[in-house]
Amino acid sequence: MIRLPNPCLVVLVGPSGSGKSYWADASCPPGTVVAADRLRALVGEGEHDQRAGTDAFAVLDLVLDRRLKRKLFTVVDTLGMERQRRAGYVALGRRHRVPVVAVTFDRPAAECRANNARRARPVPAKALAAQLKQWPDVLAAVHEDGFDAVHPAGPARIVNPELLTAPAAARRQQEDPMRLDFGLHVANFTWPGGPAELGARLAAIARAAEDAGFAYLSVMDHFLQIPQVGRRWDEMLDGWTVLGFVAGHTTRLKLLTLVTGITYRNVAHLGKIAASLDVLSGGRAVCGIGAAWNEDEHRAYGWPFPPTKARFAVLEDALRLLPLMWGPGAPAFQGKVVNVPEAMCYPRPIQERIPILVGGSGERRTLRLVARYADACNLFGDVETVRHKLGVLHRHCAEVGRDPSEIQVTQLSAALIAGTPPGTLPGTLPPRVVAGTVEEHVGRYRELAEAGVQTAFVRLANVGDPGSVEEFGQVIRAFA
């Protein structure tokens, strides 16, 4: 099975009659195939109008440029036998940062001639003979043209880029298992039944998460739904209230926000809230914090939205103050911008130290603060992005003399257990949702574990259904 990432540019290469158009129509969604013959019909007297070839290819190049600029899955159906044109496709993909994949059609000459003969307007025999004579050299050259991958024609499946190499990674996990913890991230509360049934459904989801093997349950600290998830007016609950509610319906899940905006609350008060959750949950609180980013939300609620530098100053003060709030005595604290006469918090947390997780991947400020103060970080992005960010974090740790192994590495991404049939796009899901089979998700999370992730937070696209949480348990059990 050929695995094609979405998006990518697929270049078909083969002589006339080798089955390129048939493969494209059978393997790829309607509207994704750009064919030179059809463009000749558009700008000339028909698909057979060779005089319209120059104009047809000019239109083809324009269409490809516009589609790749929009990051659309695209198949270019031409002969693909001109090396200069293939090089142009590769260059176009590089310019738009879209993978370019070649699919080759190495068919017996007799089969190509027979298929050509059945056409309403066959390619002239002399022209086809020239193509067949040239074909062995073309097939050899394709592998040297700089394509991201070259595949012989066969059944195809279009997948999210994160799942491209998932089957091989899933086999590694089966043969040589790695440990990985999982957290369920609940970011959307617009569920069937509306607000009247929200509490009961949330409790059922939390219990399902615990039964499925999730180690954490996290929520956002937002007061309006954010654009990355839904509409501004969708249901949104206060994050810390949700965690207290979930604590009463579970016994093992560790509970946190991903992450509390440092501008939303007095920092000492935040320490009191986290300590209260820890006590009432029996020692299951994690304090996730970040510099905050949603200016629209601040404006709507009448909160000041300081410049970035000022927000990071508050964040650094919080990283120093919160452990004092949870520790012995009532020491005074004077930071860059936060001053507390008495860092007093009774009752003390159940845990000797509530873990502090810092969200964000900023290389100059956020990861430097993680290296100096935090117990955990939360990263976004694919495997290569995670590897890069951890390299930056390790350099910051070396600068301050800290062992990177002391910092728990977590990653957040959206997922859906849903295979897509061959020849279809991965679906009309919200951006950043990775849809795949259980096996593909096992492979995807194995690659994240190999990159250094220790806990994967999962935002399930269909989390409102407790059954979807139970279904994801199949992935979790592969890493138990």
* Interval 309-355: pLDDT, tens: 999 999 999 999 999 999 998 999 999 999 999 999 999 999 999 99
HSE of 380, CA atoms in CB hemisphere, 13 A: 11
Residue 133 φ/ψ, nearest 5 degrees: -65, -40
Q: Tell me which residues of the chain have a pLDDT lower than 50.
A: none
- Check residue 54 and give its pLDDT: 77
Task: Please list, in sequence order, all residues whose beta carbon lies within 8 angstroms of the beta carbon of residue 57, skipping any fewer than 6 positions away.
Answer: 36, 39, 78
Residue with tokens 């750009």: 34
- Check residue 432 and give its pLDDT: 75
List Cα–Cα distances, 158 to 3, 21, 205, 350, 392, in angstroms: 6, 17, 31, 49, 33
List Cα–Cα distances, 362 to 242, 292, 312, 454, 458, in angstroms: 28, 13, 11, 20, 21
Tell me how far apart the alpha carbons of residues 169 and 182 are, in angstroms, rounded to a whole number.
Answer: 18
- Check residue 39 and give its pLDDT: 76
Coil/strand/helix, residue 368: helix
Tell me how far apart the alpha carbons of residues 434 and 94 are, in angstroms, rounded to a whole number.
Answer: 23
- Check residue 110 and give its pLDDT: 95
Structure tokens at 473: 């348990």
Q: Are 304 and 261 in contact (CB under 8 A)?
A: no
Find, among 434, 385, 438, 441, the residue nearest to 411 by Cα: 385
Tell me how far apart the alpha carbons of residues 181 and 445 are, in angstroms, rounded to a whole number.
Answer: 10
Tell me how far apart the alpha carbons of residues 447 and 450 are, in angstroms, rounded to a whole number.
Answer: 5
CATH superfamily ID and name for 167-477: Luciferase-like domain (3.20.20.30)
Task: Please list, in sequence order, all residues whose beta carbon lies within 8 angstroms of the beta carbon of residue 269, skipping any fewer than 6 positions away.
Answer: none
Tell me how far apart the alpha carbons of residues 359 and 400 are, in angstroms, rounded to a whole number.
Answer: 20
Q: For the domain covering 2-159, report its CATH number.
A: 3.40.50.300
Residue 183 φ/ψ, nearest 5 degrees: -125, 140
- Check residue 46 and give its pLDDT: 62
Respond yes or no on whether the N-terminal peptide bond of residue 421 is cis (omega within 30° of 0). no
Task: Please list, in sequence order, all residues whose beta carbon lies within 8 angstroms of the beta carbon of residue 63, skipping any fewer than 6 positions away.
Answer: 34, 39
Q: Which residues pair with 33 in a beta bridge?
A: 75
For 49-108, where are the alpha helices, taking DSSP H only?
Answer: 53-69, 83-96
Q: Are 466 and 452 in contact (CB under 8 A)?
A: no
Residue 453 φ/ψ, nearest 5 degrees: -75, 135
Which residue ranges make up each domain of the chain?
A: 2-159, 167-477
Coil/strand/helix, residue 359: strand
Task: Please list, in sequence order, all residues whose beta carbon lies within 8 angstroms of the beta carbon of residue 230, skipping any fewer than 6 positions away.
Answer: 188, 190
Q: Are 36 and 85 in contact (CB under 8 A)?
A: no
Cα torsion at 199, 202, 204, 205 (round to 10°)?
Answer: 180
Task: Please list, in sequence order, all residues whose beta carbon lies within 8 angstroms of the beta carbon of residue 402, skipping any fewer than 6 positions away.
Answer: 371, 372
Tell me how far apart the alpha carbons of residues 427 and 328 are, in angstroms, rounded to a whole number.
Answer: 54
CA 319 and chain centroid, separation = 28
Find, among 279, 208, 202, the residue nearest to 239 by Cα: 202
Structure tokens at 422: 């061959």
Identify the DSSP state of 233: T
Tell me how far apart the alpha carbons of residues 474 and 476 are, in angstroms, rounded to a whole number.
Answer: 6
Task: Please list, in sequence order, all residues whose beta carbon lies within 8 angstroms of the beta carbon of residue 422, skipping any fewer than 6 positions away.
Answer: 1, 27, 155, 156, 157, 158
Find, among 175, 206, 159, 108, the residue nearest to 464 by Cα: 206
- Check residue 346 and give its pLDDT: 94
